């Protein structure tokens, strides 16, 4: 007899929640529109590739060799020559103003030292205020310089002693990248964007659930009903869970068909991972809602949790580069497991036989958060 009554009470809660959420056209737009727009924005903007770095050249040698080295920089897709300087002070002035990020200076005698078989030095000035960009750009420049030196030695040997050049041993590295053959950063970031967007949307929606009832006065009406705490929490969770599933489908389709990220796994595995993650995000959002007095407070507390969760998820920077304490702390972050699951399913095609520990961690987190939310909820205004 109790089970049908419980089902009826939950059903009424679901109907109320859907009506309250979907009756406002502005709210309907907020449920789905921002997720798709942010997916497109982050999909294009979130990238680790450094291209068209502005570069200044100061060629005080002005020989065929120095111009050939400059042409190597200009032909690369990583650099864009922004200025040909005539004096050293122009390099410092331009870097200080931000007119270009890097500068290459070749002194007179550069070609003569190469022809004499001596090492020729090239000075590189770089604005390292953005250390990540500076390191990546410096790595590109080092590769180009090493390739120029190798080509020059080979051509010089062919001109001087062609017989010896034919017997000169060469080592060629043949790269065979797996899972992301073209080193496309969008393939790496888009699955992570899906997890971040779902966390932000679902957590913000559920963080206002109980607080909104308290502020608009409908919690008083709920107080006089025989509904139980777990029924109330379930009635608050299911609508946002279903909305999160719809948003997950939308952003996943954008990632696959718009950005061309390959989907190599199984849909069932992806569905299990996303649904478990949504329950974890819902549980955390409901817990914040039960401990907040106002919607403004709930919004601030949600922001306080979202930013560290994103940082410790491995979305932008590898977790292995973090201090040991934060590496261990990241294991209790459901977004870390969601990002790993999404990237593994999309790019590697792995299944639950590999990902079950991550799914289990998210399921345990969801169960803990939902249980605490039920225990904290009181059908009162205090």
Q: What is the pLDDT of residues 49-69, one digit of tens each?
A: 778 889 999 999 989 888 999
Q: Which of 8-12, 190-194, 223-227, 307-311 has the lowest mean pLDDT?
A: 223-227
Per DSSP, helices labelled H in the chain are 2-22, 25-45, 64-75, 88-97, 110-115, 131-160, 162-166, 185-207, 209-216, 218-223, 229-253, 267-291, 295-311, 324-329, 334-343, 352-376
- CB atoms closer than 10 angstroms to residue 245: 16
Assess whether 205 and 80 both reside in one domain: no
Give the model's confidence band at 167: pLDDT under 50 very low, under 70 low, under 90 confident, else very high.
Answer: low
Structural domain ending residue among the three candidates 135, 166, 197:
166
Domain presence at residue 173:
no
C-alpha distances (whole Å) from 308 to each of 16, 305, 332 are 34, 6, 12
Instruction: For residue range 198-222, list pLDDT tens digits in order.
Output: 998 888 888 877 777 777 767 667 6
Give the model's confidence band at 3: pLDDT under 50 very low, under 70 low, under 90 confident, else very high.
Answer: low
Q: Is 2's pLDDT higher than 60?
A: no
Q: Which of 71-75, 96-100, 155-159, 334-338 has the lowest mean pLDDT?
A: 155-159
Residue that the structure tokens 């948003």 belong to: 247
Q: List the one residue out of 173, 343, 238, 260 whose CA is nearest residue 7.
A: 238
Q: What is the CATH number of the domain that holds 67?
A: 3.40.1710.10
Single pTM value for the model? 0.80
Q: List the one residue out of 60, 57, 109 whose CA is nearest residue 85.
A: 57
Instruction: For residue range 129-159, list pLDDT tens digits in order.
Output: 888 788 888 988 888 888 888 888 777 766 6
Assess whether 109 and 43 both reside in one domain: no
- Average pLDDT rounded to a whole number, residues 182-209: 86
- The order of strands in the sheet holding 53-59 is 79-84, 53-59, 102-106, 123-126
Q: Which of 4-8, 248-252, 311-315, 334-338 has the lowest mean pLDDT?
A: 4-8
Assess whether 161 and 37 both reside in one domain: no
Give me the number of domains the chain comprises: 2
pLDDT value at position 219? Answer: 67
Assess whether 220 and 141 both reside in one domain: no
Domain presence at residue 181:
no
Instruction: For residue range 261-282, list pLDDT tens digits in order.
Output: 999 999 999 999 999 999 999 9
Assess whether 259 and 238 both reside in one domain: yes
- Average pLDDT rounded to a whole number, residues 1-13: 68
Assess whether 122 and 161 both reside in one domain: yes
Instruction: Give the separation between CA 263 and CA 251, rounded to whole angstroms.
Output: 13
Instruction: For residue range 336-372, list pLDDT tens digits in order.
Output: 999 999 999 999 999 999 999 999 999 999 999 988 8
Assess whether 201 and 289 both reside in one domain: yes
Give the model's confidence band at 294: pLDDT under 50 very low, under 70 low, under 90 confident, else very high.
Answer: confident
Give the model's confidence band at 120: pLDDT under 50 very low, under 70 low, under 90 confident, else very high.
Answer: confident
Assess whether 242 and 260 both reside in one domain: yes
- Average pLDDT rounded to a whole number, residues 164-171: 61
Assess whether 267 and 154 both reside in one domain: no
Paired tokens of 213: 């009832």
Domain presence at residue 282:
yes
Instruction: Give the separation between CA 375 and CA 157, rounded to whole angstroms.
Output: 80
Domain presence at residue 176:
no
pLDDT value at position 1? Answer: 42
Domain presence at residue 240:
yes
pLDDT value at position 275? Answer: 94
pLDDT value at position 380? Answer: 45
pLDDT value at position 279? Answer: 93
- The CA-to-CA distance between both ends of the chain, in Å, stands at 32
Q: Residue 154 is part of which domain span?
A: 53-166
Q: Is 381's pLDDT higher than 60?
A: no
Give the model's confidence band at 166: pLDDT under 50 very low, under 70 low, under 90 confident, else very high.
Answer: low
pLDDT value at position 165? Answer: 53
Give percent of the chain above pLDDT 90: 26
> What's the mean pLDDT when you consider all of the chain?
84
- Average pLDDT rounded to a whole number, residues 293-301: 81
């Amino acid at each position: 007899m109790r089970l049908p009554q419980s089902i009826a009470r939950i059903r009424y809660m679901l109907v109320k929640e859907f009506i309250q959420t979907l009756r406002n056209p502005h709210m309907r737009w907020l449920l789905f529109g921002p997720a798709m727009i942010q997916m497109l924005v982050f999909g294009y903007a979130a990238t680790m590739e450094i291209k068209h770095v502005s570069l200044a050249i100061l060629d005080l040698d002005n020989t065929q060799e120095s111009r050939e080295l400059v042409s190597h920089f200009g032909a690369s897709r990583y650099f864009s020559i922004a200025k040909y300087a005539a004096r050293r002070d122009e390099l410092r002035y331009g870097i200080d103003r931000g007119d270009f990020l890097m500068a290459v200076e070749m002194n007179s005698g550069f070609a003569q030292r190469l022809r004499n078989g001596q090492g020729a030095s090239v000075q590189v000035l770089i604005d390292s205020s953005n250390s990540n960009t500076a390191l990546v750009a410096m790595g590109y420049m080092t590769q180009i310089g090493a390739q120029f030196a190798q080509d020059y030695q080979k051509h010089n040997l062919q001109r001087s002693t062609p017989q010896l050049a034919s017997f000169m041993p060469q080592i060629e590295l043949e790269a065979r990248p797996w899972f992301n053959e073209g080193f496309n950063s969008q393939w790496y970031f888009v699955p992570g964007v899906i997890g971040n967007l779902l966390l932000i949307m679902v957590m913000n929606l559920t963080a206002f659930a109980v607080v909104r009832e308290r502020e608009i006065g409908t919690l008083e009406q709920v107080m006089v009903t025989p509904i139980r705490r777990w029924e109330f929490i379930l009635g608050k969770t299911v609508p946002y869970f279903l909305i999160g599933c719809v948003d997950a489908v939308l952003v996943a389709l954008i990632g696959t068909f718009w950005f061309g990220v390959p989907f190599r796994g199984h849909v069932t595995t992806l569905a299990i991972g996303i649904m478990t993650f949504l329950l974890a995000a819902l549980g955390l959002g409901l817990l914040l809602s039960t401990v907040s007095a106002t919607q403004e407070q709930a919004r601030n507390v949600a922001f306080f949790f979202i930013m560290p969760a994103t940082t410790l998820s491995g979305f932008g920077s590898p977790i292995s580069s973090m201090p040991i304490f934060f590496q261990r702390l990241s294991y209790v972050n459901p977004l870390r497991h969601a990002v790993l699951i999404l990237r593994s399913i999309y790019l590697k095609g792995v299944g639950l036989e590999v990902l079950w520990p991550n799914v289990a961690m998210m399921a345990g987190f969801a169960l803990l958060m939902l249980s605490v939310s039920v225990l904290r909820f009181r059908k009162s205004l205090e």
